[in-house]
């Protein structure tokens, strides 16, 4: 019998978005894993775009995420101040373009007015309750964030506490967290 070996796969991350009290925050962990091995502890998966008017975080394959960041940045230049329109146009391209269709990633993006989840299946979704988590630890972070939603904590504190919970549970998430924040239109 021959043994079939699965190729090592880049795996996991946690990205958390919280909109509360005049701020929107996107937080992401820094762990990059290849199979069962941690390759890097301090990757930056959250960044500002559009001259700081938009923040974005990705979960998925690193090279794919860089491609998506570049494509989103181009759409934001094409449609300045129109995050929803830029994201819809990116999602159309992502779903229909032969190259982009193969990308394995999800993104959380936000500006002062709107927060969105983008997927490779063409989804552009506005999360309910001002929170969303993506990646292997996304559901853990989202559950922790929702539990803290009615507390006196601000958006950044909720995001950091939610990321800490995800890091304790998800083996593909660590406690090296990057946070980007914007003031909102509230």
Active centre residues (catalytic): 13
Cβ atoms within 10 Å, residue 123: 14
d(CA 30, CA 77): 28
| Residues paired with residue 153 on neighbouring β-strands, in sequence order | none
Of 13, 48, 14, 50, whose CA–CA distance to 34 is shortest? 13
Q: Characterize 3-41 residue by residue with b for buried, 16 or more Cβ atoms within 10 angstroms of its Cβ, and e for exposed.
A: eeeeeeebbbbbbbbbbbeebbbbbbbbbbbeeeeeeee
Known binder of ligand: residue 173? yes
| Residues paired with residue 183 on neighbouring β-strands, in sequence order | 23
Known binder of ligand: residue 170? yes
Measured CA distances, 134 to 69, 74, 79 (Å)? 16, 23, 26
Residue found under tokens 């559009």: 50
Known binder of ligand: residue 121? no
* DSSP class of 125: E
Annotated binding site: 167, 170, 173
Annotated binding site for Na(+): 167, 170, 173
């Amino acid at each position: 019998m021959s043994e079939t070996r699965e190729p090592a796969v880049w795996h996991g991350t946690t990205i958390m978005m919280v909109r509360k009290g005049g701020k929107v925050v996107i937080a992401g962990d820094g762990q990059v894993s290849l199979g069962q091995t941690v390759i890097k502890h301090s990757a930056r998966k959250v960044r500002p775009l559009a001259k700081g008017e938009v923040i974005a975080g990705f979960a998925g394959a690193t090279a794919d995420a860089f491609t998506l960041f570049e494509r989103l940045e181009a759409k934001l230049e094409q449609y300045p101040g129109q995050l929803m329109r830029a994201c819809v146009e990116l999602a159309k391209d992502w779903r229909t373009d032969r190259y982009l269709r193969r990308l394995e990633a999800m993104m959380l993006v936000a500006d002062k007015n709107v927060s969105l989840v983008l997927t490779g299946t063409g989804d552009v979704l506005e999360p309910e309750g001002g929170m969303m988590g993506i990646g292997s630890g996304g559901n853990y972070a989202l559950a922790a964030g929702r539990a803290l939603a009615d507390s006196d904590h601000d958006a950044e504190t909720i995001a950091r506490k939610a990321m800490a919970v995800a890091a304790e549970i998800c083996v593909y998430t660590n406690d090296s967290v990057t946070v980007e924040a914007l003031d909102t239109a509230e």
